[in-house]
Amino acid sequence: MIKKYKLSHILNRMFSLHPKLIDFDLSRLKLLMKKFNNPQNRLQNVIHIAGTNGKGSTASFLKEILEYHKLSVNLYTSPHLINFNERIRINNKLISDEKLIKILEEVETKNANNPITFFEITTAAAIIAFERQPSDVNIFETGLGGRLDATNIIENKKLTIITKIGFDHIEFLGEKIEEIAREKAGIFRKNTPVIIAKQKNIKARQTLLACAKNLKTEIIDIENISTNTILGLSGDHQYENASTAYTAAKKILPLISLSKTNLALKQANWPGRIHQIRQGKIINYRNNITILDGAHNSDSAYVLNQYLNKKSIGKWNLIIGMLKNRDVENFVKIFKNHINKAFAMAIPEVESSYSPDEIVIKLKKIGLEVLPAQNLENALQHAEKDIPLLITGSLYLAGNTLKFNKTKID
């Protein structure tokens, strides 16, 4: 408990070093990494993943496949849902508080109060941790974009992967899908093979292919897994993510075992993504199915709608919280026909969250019955026990829900 308290204080201090949550400028991190003698240049077999949706799920599938083939894997993802340590996995375990505190204190000392973003700090910590505890493969997921994402200070890569691209963070990445695709393609490197997942938007795919061809890099065709394969993650869209991961694993492991791959795909786990809550505190409020999903953009809303169509168990109640840079009306409109009534809440400890009343006003415009809720517990108390329940709108809300539920992520 003392270590958690200490870790929290270090993170809070570092969070205050830069006023902006997002600021695309790699010079700060490059300067910091130089003080550590550029550990990013010594990482082996780096797989770099960018995209709008599916990055985390693809990384999870890929990690499991490689580990089932007896390879050690370090994995860096974001955001975390409950504990910061979730961002940095070393050889199938979350980084320990002790190791993380030590690295962050070193980062804090060498950074010497210079401006730096929180994500740059977390990326620095991951790179340092991975160099000190080497693995066979190092997987990095971008935070936002690609070209100017902090993870892109890594030059030497074994493989790059682009998952499905859609409209998200347009204030940073551009309003046209071609602009967004070019930013994501910024992770490409000359002579480094690239895997491009199935794209919904043809212009996105064309842009990615053109960027890869300009670098004269090998473009690896996706090898689809059978839809009869049992996956550990729910939703038909996960077959695309699993196929992308399988294609990547096959590039690393030419003699890949299909039986081990199938076991790995079944074992894969990625909390907060079409996640059925079967145990924990929330069950005390429920007599019917409860699904938690971190969806927050139109593409992920379509995935939810597809899932609800397939479930075909009548109308659902909705608990929703979203960030102010999200389009609440158009997000919910996509799966609105499945919703009985909605309960709007603010995401705890997130200043950029809509207030319950702001969400109520927006959802009433699209004809939904919607009520404000003081918090998650208040929403659960008023949502009928016997009606299916969907909790969605943000990964931050997903994390808060799992924390309330006392779910353990390891």
If asked whether residues 281 and 322 sit together in one domain, one would say yes
Same-domain status, 242 and 110: yes
- pLDDT at residue 113, rounded to an integer: 85
Q: Which of 221, 236, 267 is the last residue of a domain?
A: 267
Locate 67 and state its tokens: 């580990």
Are 227 and 138 found together in one domain? yes
- pLDDT score recorded for residue 231: 97
In a domain, residue 40? The reply is: yes
Q: Which of 267, 296, 323 is the last residue of a domain?
A: 267
Question: Do 257 and 303 belong to one domain?
Answer: no
Residues 215 and 293 in one domain: no
Residue 199 inside a domain? The answer is yes
Q: Which residue range(s) make up the domain with 255?
A: 2-267
Query: Residue 185's pLDDT is what?
Result: 95
Residue 222 lies in a domain: yes
Q: Does residue 410 belong to any structural domain of this protein?
A: no
**What are the backbone dihedrals phi and psi of residue 328, each rounded to the nearest 5 degrees, phi first?**
-60, -45
Residue with tokens 């808060």, as numbered in its chain? 400
> Which of these, 377, 325, 318, 361, lies nearest to 343 by C-alpha position?
318
Instruction: Judge contact between 50 and 208, C-beta under 8 A.
Output: no
Q: How many CA atoms lie within 13 A of 283 on its CB side?
A: 7
Please report the pLDDT score of residue 169 as a whole number: 53
Q: Distance between CA atoms of 353 and 52, rounded to whole angstroms?
A: 20
- 173 and 290, same structural domain? no
The CATH number of the domain where 29 resides is what?
A: 3.40.1190.10
pTM of the predicted structure, to 2 decimals: 0.93
Based on the domain organization, do 36 and 114 belong to the same domain? yes
In a domain, 233, yes or no: yes
Q: What is the CATH number of the domain that holds 348?
A: 3.90.190.20
409 inside domain: no
The rounded mean pLDDT for the chain is 92
CA distance 244 to 197: 6
Maximum C-alpha span of the chain: 59
- Distance, in Å, from the CA atom of 356 to the CA atom of 324, rounded to the nearest integer, reads 12
Q: Do 295 and 240 sit in the same domain of this protein?
A: no
196: three-class secondary structure by DSSP: strand
Same domain, 244 and 306: no
Domain count, the chain: 2
pLDDT at residue 217, as a whole number: 93
| 186 and 279 together in one domain | no
pLDDT tens for 365-389 read 999 999 999 999 999 999 999 999 9
User: Are 194 and 121 found together in one domain?
Assistant: yes
The predicted pLDDT at position 304 comes to 95
Give residue-wise pLDDT tens across range 100-129. 999 999 999 999 888 888 899 999 999 999
Sign of CA dihedral 271, 276, 279, 282: positive
Cβ neighbours of residue 252 closer than 8 Å, sequence gap 6 or more:
45, 47, 66, 71, 137, 158, 159
Per-residue pLDDT tens for 21-40?
556 789 999 999 999 999 99
Please report, as a single letter, which amino acid is at residue 184. K
Beta bridge partners of 391: 292, 319
Query: Rounded to whole angstroms, what are the CA distances from 142 to 153, 182, 195, 296, 305?
Result: 11, 14, 15, 17, 26
- 124 domain residue, yes or no: yes
Which residues of the chain fall short of a pLDDT of 50? none
Residues 85 and 228 in one domain: yes
Write down which residue in 267, 294, 329 finishes a domain: 267
Q: Does any domain span residue 59? A: yes
